[in-house]
A = this chain, B = another copy of it.
Amino acid sequence: MGDILRRNTRQRQAILEVLRGMTSHPTAAELYNAVRKRLPRISLGTVYRNLEVLARLGLLRKLEFGGTETRFDGDLQEHYHVRCVECGRVADLHDLPFDPSDLRVEGLGGYRILGHHLEYVGVCPACGTRMRSDGSSRSAAPGDSADQMVE
| Contact assessment for A119 and B85 in the assembled complex, using a CB-CB cutoff below 8 Å | no
Q: Which residues of chain B come closer than 8 Å to A7, judged between CB atoms?
A: none
A141 to B66 CA separation, bound complex (whole angstroms): 23
| CB contact under 8 A between A86 and B121, given known A98-B101, A101-B98, A128-B112 | no
Query: 30 pairs across A/B with beta carbons < 8 Å?
Result: A64-B66, A64-B67, A64-B117, A65-B65, A65-B119, A80-B118, A80-B119, A80-B120, A81-B119, A82-B121, A82-B124, A83-B120, A84-B124, A84-B127, A85-B123, A86-B136, A87-B127, A93-B120, A98-B99, A100-B120, A105-B120, A109-B124, A109-B125, A110-B124, A111-B125, A112-B122, A112-B123, A115-B122, A116-B121, A117-B117
